[in-house]
A and B are shown apart, each in its own frame.
Chain A
């Protein structure tokens, strides 16, 4: 996963403050924390010379884009697809007790929060995640079952 320094390297580094932050580094930090989005830096979006970097930065934030509502991030480089989190995730068990709930392939993929595809866990249907919505709770099923800390909430 990227860190703020790497994000900074891809920013314009002009400290123009158009993003409302005091410096590009400060912007990189809030970007990393997902408080702001890449498009909140106007020069990055508008100036053609930053086009390539803009795309790169956008891509970094893309895989977890739909996860931002619950803040779930999968560190794809760490995950090795063991499926522990998939099988332990309470809504997964409730929605597919004989499939993923019993350790097997999903039989109800449209209702599952976590599945393994191409050897890496994919988060989707985040409306089902217990950390989402009015009655949200601080579920940590997918965190404590992961041997490599590949799932994180920000």
Chain B
């Protein structure tokens, strides 16, 4: 086995230590990747598929049709891009400018708010390598990385030896889970699993803050004060702590105010960092790229050189209000992730889907263009969940075009 490492684009950890075996341009063996990563790497093999109205066509026909849809649209929407390379994202942003489109990604209904505080340097954060090298207290809050980012505990946060953590997890690290259910990660946290009722996060935060200031921590759901004080004490003693924030926490909070307050109080007494459990491998990259271009992370609308921003330009609100009349969906499956009532409105407008995978969205699209899997059949760069840039080369040769190439062609034709 030669040490020729590849990057896995199966999730936002972008594990960079994957070895593969391949035969006849097909990956048949994957080392060190988790099961999600393994399935993702082995997926690459596809022949190009182009469809219009569910009939196979050639590439030129599919692109023509996509161009016609976008040209005829008065208020097009571009959505997705969390699982696209930064290069692809930048073309999509240009395209959105050119056709006066609304542009949004998943972050508008998940972690966008937290990611914004990180990109704007309003919360203390660090890299995953810092976590590995230094972290003594690790909190997984409203997230189950064991399922969503399977190697987060083993590669970076809990189990590995790090520069300043040579004696191992049993002695030198404490893993804590706060969640509404006993997730796989909570199980690993053992006695430091804090189970709270749904929507109980805000009060829990306040109680921890009370505990940190030596007051009796109270909650309406009578969380044992002794356990809360124990938690406050662990946090107070943290030399290098990190909170991994998941959608579970964000969905339960009215605003990020309480989380900011917690971080402030914590950092008066200890050294605590925050990280967002971004799911798609380059969601962070999308937010950064759009921010660099417009000053916003998501939910924007371009109008003759001006950028508008607000919740009304998110995919959910713009579909709800029917303020878009065509959609270009790149590497995302809104038909599966959005509520039925919203998807209904997406069904009423022409959809162009560009995606390596057949999805519910691709099946409901007027135009479907099947593209190379980035990280497996196409190269590029992406931003890891801790904002570290990672670049990758294709592992095998692609039989289908990259989404970058397709977007370029659409752009030129417009």
Instruction: Give Cα distance in the complex from A88 to B132, angstroms.
Output: 14
* B237: interface (CB < 8 Å): no
Contact with A105, one of B31, B37, B153, B156 (Cβ below 8 angstroms): B31
Main secondary structure of the interface of B (DSSP, over half): mixed
- Distance in Å: Cβ of B122 to nearest Cβ of chain A: 29
A106 and B1 alpha carbons, distance in the complex (Å): 10
Beta-carbon nearest neighbor of B42 in chain A: A118
Among residues of A, the one whose C-beta sits closest to the C-beta of B146 is: A147
Contacts known (A103-B132, A109-B1); A80 close to B34, Cβ less than 8 A: yes
Contacts of B360 in A (CB 8 A): none
Beta-carbon contact of A117 and B184 below 8 Å: no
CA distance A104 to B161 in the complex (A): 10
- List the count of A-B residue pairs having beta carbons below 8 Å apart: 98
- 0 or 1 for each of A88-109: is its CB under 8 Å from B? (1 = yes): 1000010001000111111101
CB–CB B169/A83 < 8 A: no
Which listed residue, B18, B30, B34, B169, touches A82 by the CB 8 Å rule? B34
- Tell me if B188 is interfacial: C-beta within 8 Å of chain A: yes
Interface hits, B140-175 → A, CB 8 Å = 146, 150-151, 153-156, 158-162, 168-169
Q: Is the CB of A115 within 8 A of B161?
A: no
Chain A residues lying within 8 Å of B160, measured Cβ to Cβ, are 87, 101-104
Cα distance A154–B168 in the bound complex, in angstroms: 27
> Taking the nearest CB of chain B, how far is it from the CB of A107, in angstroms?
7
Which residues in B have their C-beta under 8 angstroms from that of A82?
A: 34, 146, 150-151, 153-154
Q: Which single residue of chain A is at the shortest CB-CB distance from B190?
A: A144
The answer to whether the Cβ of B94 comes within 8 Å of any Cβ in the partner chain is no
1/0 per residue A18-32: CB within 8 Å of B? 000000000000000
Q: Is the CB of B29 within 8 A of A117?
A: yes
Query: CB within 8 A of B34: which of A81, A88, A103, A107?
Result: A81
Question: CA of A104 to CA of B30 in the docked complex: distance in angstroms?
Answer: 14
| A80-B150, A97-B161, A107-B3 known; A102-B132 Cβ under 8 A | yes
- B65 at interface, CB cutoff 8 A: no
CA distance A86 to B154 in the complex (A): 8
- Chain A nearest Cβ from B159, distance in angstroms: 4
Q: Are A120 and B35 in contact (CB under 8 A)?
A: yes
Question: 10 A-B residue contacts at CB 8 Å?
Answer: A80-B36, A81-B33, A88-B154, A104-B32, A105-B19, A106-B31, A117-B29, A118-B38, A145-B188, A147-B184
Instruction: List 6 other contacts, CB 8 Å, given A103-B151, A103-B154.
Output: A82-B34, A87-B160, A88-B168, A105-B5, A116-B33, A148-B184
- Residues of chain A at the chain B interface (Cβ within 8 Å): 79-84, 86-88, 93, 97, 101-107, 109, 115-120, 145, 147-148
